[in-house]
Amino acid sequence: MVKVAIYPPNSLVIADLIERKGHTPLALQKQIRQKIKDPEIDSPPMNITEEDPINGLKYAAIEVPSGVRGRMSIIGPLIDAAEAAIIVDGDPFGFGCVGCARTNELSIFCLRKKDIPVLEVVYPDDEDGTRLMVNQIMEFLDSLPGGGGDLEGDSDVLGEPIANKGGK
């Protein structure tokens, strides 16, 4: 079983595929849940602890805007824990939860520079592109140690044989 980082970090569909294949998705929802259950925070999720911007300094310099440091204090530990990563490129503006281009760039840079397997897929713009993306993700997850999960045979999640695709 491998811990797989997802970017954008809130993709529930990709997180579900990762879990189905027997791996652990490193998704933002779990990090946020820990934050809002913390009794130290008065009105979640708007407030942060005093340590959050300081923890963000591990990932971004002091000159970087505080919002980037704050976001990286949440996303950074996911990147640190990652043993593999899936990055969706070419997504439309507003896709995902991190509305900060600098945080996106820094997070993707950190994932790429880590010595881990990384799959970069293109955001689909039609049904065929979606099928291709899902199949690429499933093949990548199968190639990781401990992969396989509860999906049987050579069919993709959408119920079509992978061999009939134009891919590998």
**What's the pLDDT tens digit per position in 38-61?**
666 666 555 667 777 788 889 888
Q: 146 versus 120: which is more confidently predicted?
A: 120
Amino acid identity, residue 49?
T
Task: Give me the pLDDT at residue 165, please.
Answer: 38
Exposed (0-12), middle (13-18) or buried (19+): which is 20, by Cβ within 10 Å?
middle
* Least confidently predicted of 34-38, 107-111, 134-138: 34-38
Q: If you average pLDDT over every residue of the chain, what do you get? A: 80
CA-nearest of 30, 32, 31, 27 to 11 is: 27
Q: 141 versus 89: which is more confidently predicted?
A: 141
Answer for the pair 162, 156: CB distance below 8 angstroms, yes or no: yes
Q: What is the DSSP-derived secondary structure letter of residue 120?
A: E
Task: Over range 134-159, report the average pLDDT.
Answer: 73
pLDDT band at 149, cuts 50/70/90?
Answer: low
CA-nearest of 31, 27, 29 to 48 is: 31
Q: 95 versus 128: which is more confidently predicted?
A: 128
pLDDT band at 79, cuts 50/70/90?
Answer: very high
Task: Give me the pLDDT at residue 18, please.
Answer: 94
Residue 27 to residue 77: CA distance in whole angstroms: 11
Answer yes or no: is pLDDT of 144 > 70.
Answer: yes
Answer for the pair 120, 87: CB distance below 8 angstroms, yes or no: yes
